[in-house]
Amino acid sequence: MTRFALTYEFDGTPFQGLQRQKHGPSVQQTIEEALFKVTGEDVTLHSSGRTDTGVHAMAMRSHVDIAKPFTPFRLMEALNAHLRPNPIGVNACQIVSDDWHSRFSCIGRRYLYRIVNRRAPLALAKNRAWQVAPELDAGAMHRAAQSFIGQHDFTTFRSTMCQAKDPVKTLDRLDVVETEGLFGTEIHFHVAARSFLHHQVRSMVGCLRLVGQGTWREQQIAEALAARDRQALGLNAPPHGLYFVEALYPEPEQPRDNV
């Protein structure tokens, strides 16, 4: 039995999230079905994170155990062939040690959230970013966002369906940057932590948008956080602006035999 680590990107628009669901197609189901066509084996895809319906990934990391002999390159090429025309692309495949786990070996995760700040509706970037018409103050949003940094009880910013046992998380980074992109002015939220609660990033972004448009004072972010009450949440950002950027691992545990 060989353990392979897969790194892949996907457009989350047609999927009910990454994890298998009873009510619709998922990224996990799609990859597992493609793996069965390649290997003839019923394998389980273990992933470094989960994503909601409509959320995208730039470099999701997962692993699978396969009995049939494959080189990483051959497995990657065959898998991509059977994934078509689904919007999933495996761009790296490595052999890893049997004790390497995509989820439990992970020491950090990074996300990006994109807002396109313009009045015209999105055409080419539809389902790839959150279009917000009112002009936003990125500086005020960034200042307010620093209240999230460090260890806090994020109850206000977690979904009522969140299955995490503990609402306390440590946020390492939340930078809000204004940039000029292909579709006009964009506001990017760069977020990093070891792990996140369900809807945490989207909830933080939604409330920061309220700060950016002047509906909330900057201090209200800290007040909402201190409330530890979901009723204090101002707004939950939609999923289609969110991207899973990467999963981080200790240097000795990095996958080997890179393609």
Amino acid sitting at position 64? V
- Estimate to the nearest angstrom the gap between the alpha carbon of 195 and the chain centroid: 11
Q: Any bridge partners for residue 60, and if so which?
A: 8
Report how far apart, in Å, the C-alpha atoms of 131 and of each of 127, 152, 187 are.
Answer: 9, 30, 10
Q: Which of 42, 52, 65, 153 is catalytic?
A: 52
Angle among Cα 124, 247, 199 to the nearest 5 degrees reads: 65
Please choose, from the candidates 258, 253, 259, the residue with its C-alpha nearest in 3D space to the C-alpha of residue 97: 253
| Dihedral angle, C-alpha 88, 93, 99, 103, nearest 10 ° | -30
52 is catalytic: yes
**CA neighbours closer than 13 Å in the CB half-sphere of residue 254:** 7
Q: Catalytic residues, which ones?
A: 52
